[in-house]
Amino acid sequence: MQSLQKLTSRFVPLRIENVDTDQIIPARFLKATTKIGFGKNLFRDWRYENDDETKPKADFVLNQPQYGGEILVAAKNFGCGSSREHAAWSIQDYGFKVVVSSFFADIFKNNALNNGVLPVTVSDAFLQEIFAVGADDTLTVDLEAQTITINTTGSSEKFEINSYKKTCLLNGYDDIDYLLNMKAEIEAFEQSKK
Q: Out of 60, 67, 165, 173, name the contact with other proteins by CB under 8 A.
A: 165
Q: Which helix (H) or strand (E) holds 158?
A: strand 156-158
Judged by beta carbon, residue 153 or residue 179, the one nearer other proteins is 179
Q: Out of 2, 3, 83, 151, name the contact with other proteins by CB under 8 A.
A: 83
**C-alpha span between 123 and 128 (Å, rounded):** 9
- Residue 150, SS3? strand
Question: Which DSSP letter does residue 29 get?
Answer: G
Q: Which helix (H) or strand (E) holds 73?
A: strand 71-74
Q: Out of 5, 40, 53, 106, name the contact with other proteins by CB under 8 A.
A: 106
Q: Minimum CB separation from other proteins for residue 52, in Å?
A: 11
Q: Does 77 bind other proteins (CB under 8 A)?
A: yes
168 residue type, one letter: C
- Please identify, among the stretches 2-10, 30-38, 93-101, 147-155, the one whose residues bind other proteins according to the rule CB under 8 A: 30-38
First to last CA, the chain: 36
> Positive or negative, the Cα torsion across 105, 110, 111, 116?
positive
Q: Does 117 bind other proteins (CB under 8 A)?
A: no
Judged by beta carbon, residue 25 or residue 150, the one nearer other proteins is 25
> 107, 43 in Cβ contact below 8 A?
no
Tell me which residues touch other proteins (CB under 8 A): 15-18, 20, 22-23, 26-28, 30-35, 45, 51, 75-77, 80-86, 88, 103, 105-107, 110-111, 114-115, 162-165, 174-176, 178-180, 182-183, 185-186, 189-190, 193
